[in-house]
């Protein structure tokens, strides 16, 4: 707390700033309305103001300029309208709480110190010079996050500015009143953070601008590296930092970076809805949000249906001691590796010499162009031409062939038949269409004139007959053209390449695989892997682990599709992506910088990638090379109480380095039952107690979707009120009491978490450790674990002082 005089001054200042904000809003209001209606008027009168005259070249040019002029005027008005609206919205946002922090900074060499108030947006006084509030993203405001009072400095485009921070103050304001003012000596005072973290979970993530921590600030403001990797413990604020980083980038590069040039890859669609309000709250537009799965489905189109990662994980979680299961796991690991990527590259090289597979083009039960003809043509090209270039040449050739064939086709019998089948209406429609078509008239006209000249005969009176003949000719062409359209389209879509066959061809015998790919270490159980892969492909489906390699390979053959618009991609839950997927993303977005955030402690997929590696060495660092990569580790965990973190960190090897934030709460509670019936009864009881305590967001977390369904039925039968089952199809995250599989709860948090079955029946394999850890770390304030039977060995290994037992 501060002294009374200071409090008085702060209250007065707050009132002044609020008044000025109100004034500014009132000033902007008519301007915004005026500009809006001006732009609307220009748009309405657009065609009245331009004179359209195309009779001569000069007139045409004049019309063109007049349109351009109107367009420029309109876009200028719209631009200034957008800017004003943004300003207006910013002011309105500020009015609710103009600032949250202040630093007093004396720059070295200057004899005075400046008071810098920091808020979600800048506000300059009417003199246009004095900043009443600085945007939290300005260079000077970075000191607020980086230093306690004392020596401090910040970077500007003109160099580093050093000085002394004489005061650091935090505010809690609402409705124009001061609620709390804290002078702090820490980087960001614990008290405010305590309060922020003590609140209950929400269905949407909150902004953290008032309490960003120093190491998070480094992530937010990193603007140099091509690749930024953040390895951070559960609840360390990775997602939060990522979202504030987007806001920072949009602010810093506001002249050239637009929100849709940033893409965030989220773990599931529900997560998209969870994070979607943060940027709008900060006054920025949302970036593009997608899931990798959406990308795959888009890339594969109709041809093949990819399995989703959740079905894959469900499969891996249902332990089986069969050879097929082992083979599948081996397949998943291999197909995620850069070895497989290299094998595919080599395979493409091999195909330059032999083995290409084509789909012949058939038309009305006839072969128009056979696969053999294509192969002959293909391997007839200069052998030094790259595969994809040769495919492009072949495509050109095929289109030309089709054009020739189309010309010949018009005299075929079926065309006459088609003409006969055109009913009168169709005929009339085509007829009038032809006559409407200026080109046809001009063609007919020119034809007549040439005839006149050539034959030196004046035009016949009864020229109608000739028209009819020519019309038939044109109609025939049209009929054939119409029927050839799908053929041309399929050539353009590269359907003449038997892509599915080419990919399946890889999964024959091990020796063939070696020959085609130069692979030395063919994985064990290769023939089982091959059978499984081909079996799936025969059903026109792809395993999740095949989807990215298939698309990658498709691009090696057909040419690379790139997105050169996107400047930044963010990969959240980055440990769940394979190296293969990273290589793919790098190629897909050649002009983008990448930010990867993840936690290897929560790596629940078989294809997981270690972000950091032992000693800071991981394949991910090699993706763009060490000099272009920045690696930041976050070890402080903010989500859960100290007691919960002290329990969960013992579940992980090396977990001791995770530092809990000092927010207190009850220790995790372990409750045992004798049967699943009794288990359900106890869970129901505890759930009701938690609800009565006022917790609004509670999750019963299960290992798999199957277990979620079972829990939902059982708990509902025991009278658990308003229990909602969350599946991979649940589009958005809602408050309440949920039953949810651990892999869908990733990235999300709840006031209280109940682990449905923490027995050794459910969690005992080493591969399940991280899933269990992920489930437990979703809890903010309470963690309860239940088991019918022996506790999982992961809990048995935890020091008993870290939890309480009940009955």
Ligand X SMILES: Nc1ncnc2c1ncn2[C@@H]1O[C@H](COP(=O)(O)OP(=O)(O)OP(=O)(O)O)[C@@H](O)[C@H]1O
Residue ranges at the known binding site for ATP: 232-239
By three-state DSSP, how is residue 623 classified? helix
Select 599 or 646, whichever has its Cβ closest to ligand X: 599
Binding of ligand X at residue 208 (CB under 6 A)?
Answer: yes
Q: Which of 43, 44, 206, 485 is close enough to bind ligand X by CB under 6 A?
A: 206
By three-state DSSP, how is residue 576 classified? helix
- Helix pair angle (413-421, 464-492), 10° resolution: 110
Least CB distance to ligand X at residue 269 (A): 16
Select 240 or 737, whichever has its Cβ closest to ligand X: 240
Q: Which of 240, 532, 578, 609 is close enough to bind ligand X by CB under 6 A?
A: 240
Binding of ligand X at residue 570 (CB under 6 A)?
Answer: no
Contacts 24+ apart (CB under 8 A), 547-551: 547/296, 547/300, 547/306, 547/307, 548/296, 548/578, 548/580, 548/581, 548/584, 549/335, 549/340, 549/341, 549/344, 549/580, 550/300, 550/304, 550/499, 550/503, 551/296, 551/299, 551/300, 551/584
CA 376 to chain centre: 43
- 145-204 positions binding ligand X, by CB under 6 A: 193, 196-197
Binding of ligand X at residue 638 (CB under 6 A)?
Answer: yes
Select 273 or 517, whichever has its Cβ closest to ligand X: 273
Select 193 or 680, whichever has its Cβ closest to ligand X: 193
User: Closest-CB residue for ligand X?
Assistant: 237
Select 217 or 532, whichever has its Cβ closest to ligand X: 217
Binding of ligand X at residue 98 (CB under 6 A)?
Answer: no
Select 211 or 533, whichever has its Cβ closest to ligand X: 211
Tell me if 746 sits within 8 A of 573, measured CB to CB: yes
Binding of ligand X at residue 213 (CB under 6 A)?
Answer: yes
Q: Which of 747, 754, 773, 781 is close enough to bind ligand X by CB under 6 A?
A: 747
Select 230 or 263, whichever has its Cβ closest to ligand X: 230
Tell me if 182 sits within 8 A of 197, measured CB to CB: no
Binding of ligand X at residue 660 (CB under 6 A)?
Answer: no
Cross-strand bridge partners of residue 267: none
Question: Of 242, 118, 239, whose CA–CA distance to 638 is shortest?
Answer: 239
Binding of ligand X at residue 335 (CB under 6 A)?
Answer: no
Binding of ligand X at residue 664 (CB under 6 A)?
Answer: no
**What residues contact residue 240 under an 8 Å CB cut-off, 6+ apart?**
205, 208, 216, 278
Q: Which of 646, 749, 751, 768 is close enough to bind ligand X by CB under 6 A?
A: 749
Tell me if 722 sits within 8 A of 801, measured CB to CB: no
Please give the annotated binding residues, written as ranges.
232-239
Least CB distance to ligand X at residue 336 (A): 21
Select 212 or 537, whichever has its Cβ closest to ligand X: 212
Size of the site for ligand X (CB under 6 A): 23
Q: Which of 120, 212, 621, 779 is close enough to bind ligand X by CB under 6 A?
A: 212
Least CB distance to ligand X at residue 21 (A): 25
- Helix pair angle (424-436, 464-492), 10° resolution: 90
Q: Which window, 46-54, 205-213, 370-378, 725-733, contacts ligand X (CB under 6 A)?
A: 205-213
Give the Cα separation of 554 and 249 in Å (integer): 34
Least CB distance to ligand X at residue 636 (A): 9
Binding of ligand X at residue 237 (CB under 6 A)?
Answer: yes
**What residues contact residue 99 under an 8 Å CB cut-off, 6+ apart?**
17, 117, 118, 119, 133, 171, 173
Binding of ligand X at residue 247 (CB under 6 A)?
Answer: no
Give the Cα separation of 780 and 638 in Å (integer): 9
Binding of ligand X at residue 557 (CB under 6 A)?
Answer: no
Least CB distance to ligand X at residue 286 (A): 17
Binding of ligand X at residue 641 (CB under 6 A)?
Answer: no
**CA 570, 573, 578, 579 torsion: positive or negative?**
positive
The first and second tokens of residue 348, run together, are 């493409």
Q: Which window, 77-85, 211-219, 580-588, 792-800, contacts ligand X (CB under 6 A)?
A: 211-219
DSSP state of 742: G
Question: Of 552, 558, 553, whose CA–CA distance to 392 is shortest?
Answer: 558
Question: Of 741, 739, 733, whose CA–CA distance to 714 is shortest?
Answer: 739
Q: Which window, 104-112, 159-167, 233-241, 536-544, contacts ligand X (CB under 6 A)?
A: 233-241
Binding of ligand X at residue 239 (CB under 6 A)?
Answer: yes
Q: Which of 639, 712, 770, 781 is close enough to bind ligand X by CB under 6 A?
A: 639
Select 335 or 769, whichever has its Cβ closest to ligand X: 769
Select 199 or 515, whichever has its Cβ closest to ligand X: 199
- What's the angle, vertex CA 600, arms to CA 339 and CA 787, rounded to 5? 120
Binding of ligand X at residue 525 (CB under 6 A)?
Answer: no
CA separation (Å) from 344 to 134, 359, 513, 700? Answer: 53, 21, 10, 43
Give the Cα separation of 508 and 502 in Å (integer): 11
Give the Cα separation of 160 and 263 in Å (integer): 32
Binding of ligand X at residue 596 (CB under 6 A)?
Answer: no
Binding of ligand X at residue 211 (CB under 6 A)?
Answer: yes
Question: Of 564, 622, 568, whose CA–CA distance to 595 is shortest?
Answer: 568
Binding of ligand X at residue 594 (CB under 6 A)?
Answer: no
Binding of ligand X at residue 419 (CB under 6 A)?
Answer: no
Site residues (vs ligand X, CB under 6 A)? 193, 196-197, 206, 208, 211-213, 216, 232, 234-240, 599, 638-639, 747, 749, 777
């Amino acid at each position: 707390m501060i002294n009374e005089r200071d409090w008085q001054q702060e209250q007065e200042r707050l009132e002044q700033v609020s008044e000025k904000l109100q004034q500014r809003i009132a000033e902007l209001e008519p301007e915004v309305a005026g500009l809006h209606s001006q732009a609307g008027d220009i748009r309405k009168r657009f065609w009245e103001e331009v004179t359209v005259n195309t009779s001569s070249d000069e007139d045409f040019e004049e019309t063109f300029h007049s349109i351009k002029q109107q367009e420029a005027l309109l876009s200028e008005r719209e631009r200034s309208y957008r800017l004003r609206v943004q300003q207006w919205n910013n002011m309105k946002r500020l009015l609710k709480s103009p600032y949250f922090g202040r630093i007093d900074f004396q720059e070295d060499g200057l004899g005075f110190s400046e008071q810098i108030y920091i808020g979600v947006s800048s506000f300059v006084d009417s003199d246009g010079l004095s900043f009443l509030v600085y945007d939290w993203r300005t260079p000077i405001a970075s000191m607020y996050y980086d230093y306690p009072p004392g020596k401090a400095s910040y970077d500007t485009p003109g160099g580093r500015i050093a000085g002394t921070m004489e005061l650091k103050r935090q505010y809690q304001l609402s409705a124009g009143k001061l609620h709390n003012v804290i002078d702090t000596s820490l980087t960001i005072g614990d008290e405010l953070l305590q309060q922020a973290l003590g609140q209950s979970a929400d269905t949407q993530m909150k902004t953290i601008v008032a309490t960003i921590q120093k190491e998070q600030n480094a992530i937010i403001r990193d603007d140099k590296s091509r690749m930024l990797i953040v390895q951070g413990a559960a609840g360390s604020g990775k997602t939060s930092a990522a979202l504030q980083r987007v806001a920072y980038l949009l602010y810093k590069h506001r002249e050239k970076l637009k929100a849709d040039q940033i893409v965030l890859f989220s773990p599931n669609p529900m997560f998209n809805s969870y994070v979607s309000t943060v940027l709008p709250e900060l006054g920025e537009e949302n970036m593009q949000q997608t899931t990798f799965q959406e990308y795959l489905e888009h890339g594969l189109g109709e041809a093949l249906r990819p399995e989703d990662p959740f079905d894959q994980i469900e499969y891996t979680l249902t332990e089986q001691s069969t050879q097929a299961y082992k083979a599948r796991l081996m397949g998943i690991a291999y197909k995620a590796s850069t070895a497989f990527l290299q094998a595919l590259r080599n395979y493409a090289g091999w195909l330059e010499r032999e083995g290409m597979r084509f789909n012949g083009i058939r038309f009305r039960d006839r072969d128009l162009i056979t696969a053999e003809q294509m192969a002959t043509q293909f391997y007839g090209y200069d052998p030094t031409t790259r595969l994809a270039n040769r495919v492009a040449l072949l495509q050109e050739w095929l289109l030309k062939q089709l054009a020739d064939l189309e010309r010949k086709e018009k005299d075929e019998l079926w065309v006459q038949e088609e003409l006969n089948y055109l009913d009168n209406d169709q005929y009339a429609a085509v007829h009038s269409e032809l006559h409407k078509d200026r080109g046809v008239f001009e063609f007919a006209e020119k034809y007549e004139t040439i005839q006149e000249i050539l034959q030196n005969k004046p035009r016949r009176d009864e020229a109608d007959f000739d028209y009819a003949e020519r019309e038939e000719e044109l109609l025939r062409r049209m009929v054939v053209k119409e029927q050839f359209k799908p053929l041309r389209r399929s050539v353009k879509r590269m359907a003449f390449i038997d892509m599915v066959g080419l990919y399946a061809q890889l999964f024959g015998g091990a020796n063939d695989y070696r020959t085609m790919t130069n692979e030395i270490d063919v994985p064990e159980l290769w023939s089982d892997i091959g059978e499984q892969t081909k079996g799936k492909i025969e059903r026109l489906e792809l395993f999740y682990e095949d989807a990215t390699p298939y698309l990658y390979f498709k691009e090696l053959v057909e040419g690379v599709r790139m997105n050169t618009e996107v400047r930044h991609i963010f990969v959240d839950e980055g440990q769940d992506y394979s190296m293969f997927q990273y290589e793919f993303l790098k190629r897909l977005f050649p002009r983008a910088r990448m930010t990867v955030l993840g936690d290897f402690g929560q790596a629940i997929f078989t294809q997981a990638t270690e972000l950091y590696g032992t000693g800071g060495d991981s394949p991910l660092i090699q993706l763009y090379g060490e000099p272009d990569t920045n690696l930041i580790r976050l070890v402080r965990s903010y989500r859960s109480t100290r007691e919960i973190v002290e329990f969960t960190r013992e579940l992980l090897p090396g977990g001791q380095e995770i530092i809990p934030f000092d927010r207190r709460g009850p220790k995790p509670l372990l409750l045992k039952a004798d049967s699943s019936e009794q288990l359900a009864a106890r869970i129901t009881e505890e759930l009701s107690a938690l609800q009565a305590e006022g917790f609004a967001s509670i999750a019963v977390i299960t290992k798999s979707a199957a277990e979620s369904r079972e829990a939902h039925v059982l708990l509902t039968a025991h009278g658990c009120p308003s229990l909602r089952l969350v599946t991979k199809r649940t589009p958005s995250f809602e408050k309440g009491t949920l039953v949810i599989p651990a892999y869908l709860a990733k990235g999300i948090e709840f006031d209280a978490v109940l682990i449905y079955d923490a027995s050794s029946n459910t969690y005992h394999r080493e591969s399940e450790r991280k899933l269990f850890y992920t489930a437990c770390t979703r809890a903010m304030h309470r963690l309860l674990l239940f088991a019918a039977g022996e506790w999982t060995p992961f809990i048995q290994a935890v020091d008993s002082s870290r939890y309480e037992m009940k009955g």
